[in-house]
Amino acid sequence: MPAPTCASCGSARAALRRPRSGQALCGSCFCAAFEAEVLHTVLAGRLLPPGAVVAVGASGGKDSTVLAHVLRALAPRLDISLHLVAVDEGISGYRDAALAAVRRQAALWELPLTVVSYADLFGGWTMDAVARSTAGSGRSRSCCTFCGVLRRRALEEGARLVGATHIVTGHNADDMAETVLMNFLRGDAGRLARAGGLGSAGEGGALPRCRPLHLASQKEVVLYAHFRRLHYFSEECVYAPEAFRGHARDLLKLLEAARPSAVLDLVHSAERLALAPAAKPPRPGACSRCGALASRELCQACALLDGLNRGRPLLAIGKGRRGLREEPPACAPPAAAPTPAPAPPPPTTCAQQNDLRSRSVTCAYQTSIGM
Amino acid sequence: MAAPLCVEVEFGGGAELLFDGVKKQQVTFSGQEGPWDIQNLLVWIKKNLLKKQPELFIQGDSMRPGILVLINDSDWEQLGELDYQLWDQDSILFISTLHGG
């Protein structure tokens, strides 16, 4: 059967049908509609005010490529300036190729690019070094836990370096829906309390972050890149494990096949979620070392790096999560009097909320939405 | 005997990794084995082109969810999906969406 005619321009052959409206559009009109929707998301949510200096987390992948391209098109209308920030985790054979893609994009779009590296920021701890350090521990997949936390910190540092007022990342609706499912499946009240946020307002002095593509379906992100002829890097990270997110993703795909609106409905449900008062996480304090948001003495990034530097990479990982100060002494003194058992500590609410109590690991490439 | 059918298959978004990195190739079917629809094309691809891990490309009789199919730059959902009858010189593009970005 021949494809219908575009409902918008009426002349070209329709290339696709929008899932929500059922409207048949040609490639060009679809791209225009996609851009208009991102514009609406930003304006309605007041995500990027006029004059904002926006650091775009750029990985060379499909989402950040589309994000940068769309924001560049919208920049005059929004009166914002853009600066690409790429993070070099030090994964040989993988990140180099991705960074090459980002450099090409920066040159093509004439956008300034700053690359920040784990090696420089974290005292030589590249992901390859972290992987070697955790390799003998029997939990080699936990290297991805490090990457998620450190990447977030690195992006913050890069954004500050370029004088940014806001950070944007390319998380799409599918990413958000997967994260919502993961948080429910793991009973993570702390994240669920934040899972609905369009972005973080910048607690504890952190730069405000938002995800302008969070209402765009993954399929439409890929189609936009196709019709705009955008080139991106599409290989999986060499350390990507069979992360828990994979299960959430498979479940989401099944749900989507049965009910196409399930992806966006999940995102909207999370936005409207309110937690019972008893379930809300306590107000966080500041890391004693770096001042970032933390519910323990050390924020997650500092705790992880300390473990690495002490030659005990898993110190801040795993069930119980005995931190550095809380390590029991060699001979525990007998309890003088019975004391009530303390409540289990809430998950760290540092810049990146990775739930370290869970045995599962969130892949670096698929950072959870955190705050 | 019907005229031979020549189509171009293309793989993108990471799907090319399942085909030894080959992004584009011409495929010719002789008329006797027809009629050729996408369903038959998938069977043919699985048998002749897929170098590894077929379950990452095909699930059952159809595409693995998350791999888009564009026929002459149009979403296959509009054209009948598996039942679309191939024409000579058609271009079929398979784009994977299944990776981080």
Tens digits of pLDDT across chain A (371 residues): 567 899 999 999 999 998 878 899 999 999 999 999 999 999 999 999 999 999 999 999 999 999 999 999 999 999 999 999 999 998 887 888 899 999 999 999 999 999 999 999 888 888 888 888 877 665 555 677 788 789 989 999 999 999 999 999 999 999 999 888 888 888 877 777 775 544 566 666 789 999 999 999 999 999 999 999 999 998 777 776 546 777 888 899 889 888 888 999 998 888 888 777 777 777 778 888 888 877 788 888 888 888 888 888 777 765 444 444 444 333 333 333 344 434 444 433 333 334 333 323 333 333 333 32
Of B65, B78, B95, the CB nearest to A14: B78
* CA distance linking residue A64 with residue A310, whole number of Å: 35
| A62 neighbourhood in chain B, CB within 8 Å | 13, 97, 99, 101
List of residues 6+ apart from A301 with CB closer than 8 A = A149, A150, A152, A153, A290, A292, A350, A351, A352
Chain A residue nearest residue B76, CA to CA: A16
CA distances from residue A3 to A219, A220, A353, B55, B76 in whole angstroms, order as listed: 19, 18, 46, 30, 9
Question: Do the Cβ atoms of B77 and B84 come closer than 8 Å?
Answer: no
**Torsion sign, CA atoms A91, A93, A96, A101:** negative
- First-last CA distance in chain A: 47
Q: Which helix (H) or strand (E) holds B29?
A: strand B24-29
Of B74, B78, B101, the CB nearest to A61: B101
Place of tokens 């994979």: A246
Kindly state whether A13 is in contact with chain B, defined as any CB-CB distance less than 8 angstroms: yes
The pLDDT of residue A369? 35
Kindly state whether B31 is in contact with chain A, defined as any CB-CB distance less than 8 angstroms: no
Highest mean pLDDT among A272-281, B60-69, B86-95: B86-95
The pLDDT of residue A351? 35
CA distances from residue A25 to A8, A17, B47, B71 in whole angstroms, order as listed: 6, 6, 35, 15
Determine if the pTM surpasses 0.95.
no
Given an 8 Å threshold on Cβ–Cβ distance, is B101 in contact with A64? yes
Given an 8 Å threshold on Cβ–Cβ distance, is A16 in contact with B75? yes
Please state at what angle helix A173-185 crosses helix A244-258, rounded to 10 degrees: 110
How many other β-carbons are positioned within 10 Å of the β-carbon of residue A103?
16
Whether the link from the prior residue into B35 is cis, omega within 30° of 0, is yes
The pLDDT of residue B101? 61
Please list, residue by residue across A178-191, b when 16 or more beta carbons sit within 10 angstroms of its beta carbon and e when fewer do: bbbbbbbebebbbb
Kindly state whether B65 is in contact with chain A, defined as any CB-CB distance less than 8 angstroms: yes
Of B12, B75, B101, the CB nearest to A59: B101
Kindly state whether B56 is in contact with chain A, defined as any CB-CB distance less than 8 angstroms: no
Kindly state whether A256 is in contact with chain B, defined as any CB-CB distance less than 8 angstroms: yes
* CA distance linking residue A41 with residue A55, whole number of Å: 18
List of residues 6+ apart from A136 with CB closer than 8 A = none
- First-last CA distance in chain B: 48
Which tokens is A185 given? 């499946």
Chain A residue nearest residue B79, CA to CA: A1
In the stretch 35-54 of chain B, residues with CB closer than 8 A to chain A read none
Minimal CA–CA distance to A281: which of A186, A152, A188, A145?
Answer: A188
Chain A residue nearest residue B101, CA to CA: A61
